[in-house]
């Protein structure tokens, strides 16, 4: 790449890789480990969390080597902020307990749970078709076929309704999937 050339976020293709996350973590995380503390932490991490150790060392190195002195954020939360906290029960990246803790930090908020898989609550690409199915079923006096796509669509509608009108969903609302969840090694092997 030529010196001084501009790179858009879409064209990055790994050019900056982990450094973008490291810059944020390096500024937000208080304290640094000296060499002895790092080795102790690494040994404990390998023993306690062998599967996550590789990812953890990336974070530790990113934080430990970031050259700017950190300015950590104050504790999260506010008693009067009315937010929608969305937690996914089967999110491989973010534990559901994080949503519960966030809800505690913002006591005027409501927590809504997506019962299915995935990271984030994503809008379905076929939402216009789903809306058409809902309207057609309503006109017939029936319910639309409840699928996981429809379940996520209805859950997303509650979140969007809040963003547009400020109306909070019922605290504790669970967006239920259409059928039994496929859990365990047999389900994983079928993917």
Q: Distance (Å, rounded) from C-alpha 41 to C-alpha 127?
A: 47
pLDDT tens-digit series, residues 80-131:
999 999 999 988 778 899 999 999 999 999 999 999 888 877 766 788 899 9
* Residue 1: predicted pLDDT: 47
Looking at residue 60, its pLDDT comes to 84
Q: Taking residues 150-170, what's their average pLDDT?
A: 92
Question: Which carries the bigger pLDDT value, residue 136 or residue 57?
Answer: 136
132 or 25, which is more confident: 132
For residue 78, give the nearest of 111, 107, 112, 110 by alpha carbon: 107
pLDDT at 14: 53
75 class by beta-carbon count within 10 Å (0-12 exposed, 13-18 middle, 19+ buried): exposed
On the question of pLDDT at 50 being above 90, the answer is no
Mean pLDDT over residues 177-184, rounded?
Answer: 81
Q: Is the pLDDT score of 191 beyond 70?
A: no
Tell me, what's the pLDDT at 135?
A: 94
Residue with tokens 């079923």: 137
- Could you report the per-residue pLDDT of 1-44, keeping only the tens digit for each? 455 555 444 454 555 567 777 777 777 777 777 888 889 989 99
């Amino acid at each position: 790449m030529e010196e001084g050339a501009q790179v858009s976020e879409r064209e990055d293709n790994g050019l900056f890789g982990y450094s973008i996350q490291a810059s944020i973590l390096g500024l937000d995380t208080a304290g640094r480990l000296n060499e002895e503390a790092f080795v102790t932490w690494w040994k404990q991490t390998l023993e306690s969390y062998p599967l996550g150790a590789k990812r953890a060392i990336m974070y530790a190195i990113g934080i430990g080597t970031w050259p700017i002195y950190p300015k950590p954020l104050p504790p999260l939360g506010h008693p009067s902020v009315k937010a929608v906290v969305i937690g996914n029960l089967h999110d491989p990246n973010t534990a559901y307990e994080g949503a519960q803790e966030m809800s505690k930090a913002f006591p005027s908020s409501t927590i809504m749970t997506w019962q299915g898989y995935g990271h984030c609550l994503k809008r379905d690409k076929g939402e216009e078709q789903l809306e058409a199915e809902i309207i057609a079923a309503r006109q017939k006096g029936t319910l639309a076929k409840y699928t996981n796509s429809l379940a996520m669509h209805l859950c997303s509608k509650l979140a969007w309704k809040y963003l547009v009108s400020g109306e909070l969903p019922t605290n504790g609302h669970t967006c239920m999937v259409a059928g039994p969840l496929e859990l365990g090694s047999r389900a994983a092997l079928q993917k």
